[in-house]
Amino acid sequence: MLTRILSVGLLAGLLAGLLIAALQQVTTTPLILVAETFEKPAVASATPAPTHTHQGGEAHVHGEGWKPADGMPRLFFTAITTVATAMGVAFVLMAVMVFAGVPIDEHHALAWAVAGFVACGLAPAAGLAPVLPGSAAGDLVGRQVWWVGTAIATAIGLWAFLRADHHPLVRLGAIVLLLAPHVIGAPHPPAFESKVPAEIAAQFTALSLVVQGLLWALVGIGVGLFWPKFAPKTAA
Amino acid sequence: MANTTASVIRTTERSDARRAAGIALILGLGLVFLTGFAYPEVIHNAAHDTRHSLSFPCH
């Protein structure tokens, strides 16, 4: 069973990740590069790495350690990390479906992947809109905790709403779980500081969600396609 | 008797599937944590564009 999950996850993640990496090069990455030109100080040559201030007033410096050089190395590392993310998403998707006792086929895998995108993409974006580099943002750990909490609460809420019995209390609990993160609210910056034109930021926010949605969908399709191909041979 | 054997096999398969799913879940969450959330600067810089383009919270 583990071999089957790993094989399908590696294959589906590799294919979905490579397609998304190609898509990123013509959608989100060009906008990130444009945004970085606004992030850099006007006098570039002798100036140290750009700093910005987080909530709490601690400045934090970017680019001191190793980072991939612009061009091919940067493209390569973005592709590698996108493929790794897609593999991780595939493993989580299959694990959750096995725990839920749902058959893994094209129909179910895609439906569960879409639900995964709602939980990990749409719901967190309602509080923390995807941003370009250089945007003001609240405390990173606070945002990550809120993001993970929202994803988990939304996933459980969706599952309870769609699968469990129709008992009014279960539904009420599901609605509470879906709404709670947004009532609590995501950490936000005390002031806005991005110099990137709003049109570019808006375009990026929309594209970033589309890219994540497509990643989930492609992983779901891949898992649904490859799962039957790795069926165990019936024992003699 | 046959029923009991079949149900034992079913239960064993089910617990085997759950164990495999548990390992896959930890592995999957670990990968996503590494690419989407981990703090070491090298990992952050390598995954920077991926984090932004997949809507993960980043610096």
Q: Where are the domains positioned within chain A?
A: 1-40+68-133+200-236, 138-188
Note the pLDDT of residue A234: 67
SS3 assignment for A178-194:
HHHHHHHCCCCCCCCCC
User: Average pLDDT for residues B50-57, to the nearest whole number?
Assistant: 96
Q: What are phi and psi of A101, to 5 degrees?
A: 70, 30
For residue A12 the two structure tokens come to: 């589906």
Please compute the mean of the pLDDT values over residues A16-43 and round it to a whole number.
90
Determine which of B15, B35, B49 to mutate to test the interface with A (most A C-beta atoms within 10 Å): B49
Q: Which of B24, B36, B57 sits opposite A91 (nearest CB)?
A: B24
Reported as a single tens digit per residue, the pLDDT across A207-232 is 999 999 999 999 999 999 999 999 98
List residues of B whose CB lies inside 8 A of any A CB: 16-25, 27-32, 34-37, 41-42, 45-50, 52-59
pLDDT in the model for residue A63: 52
pLDDT of residue A58: 41
**Least confident span in A93-102, A184-193, A216-225:** A184-193
Return the domain boundaries, chain B.
2-53
**Cβ-based neighbours of B6, under 8 Å, separated by 6 or more:** none
How does pLDDT run across A145-162, given as a tens digit for each residue? Answer: 999 999 999 999 999 988
The single residue listed with the structure tokens 């090298």 is B42
DSSP label at B38?
A: -
Do the Cβ atoms of B44 and B59 come closer than 8 Å? Answer: yes
A128 in contact with B at a CB cutoff of 8 Å? yes
Phi-psi region of B40 (alpha: psi -120 to 50; beta: other; left: phi over 0): beta
Task: Band the pLDDT of A65: cuts 50, 70, 90.
Answer: confident
Whole-number mean pLDDT of chain A?
89
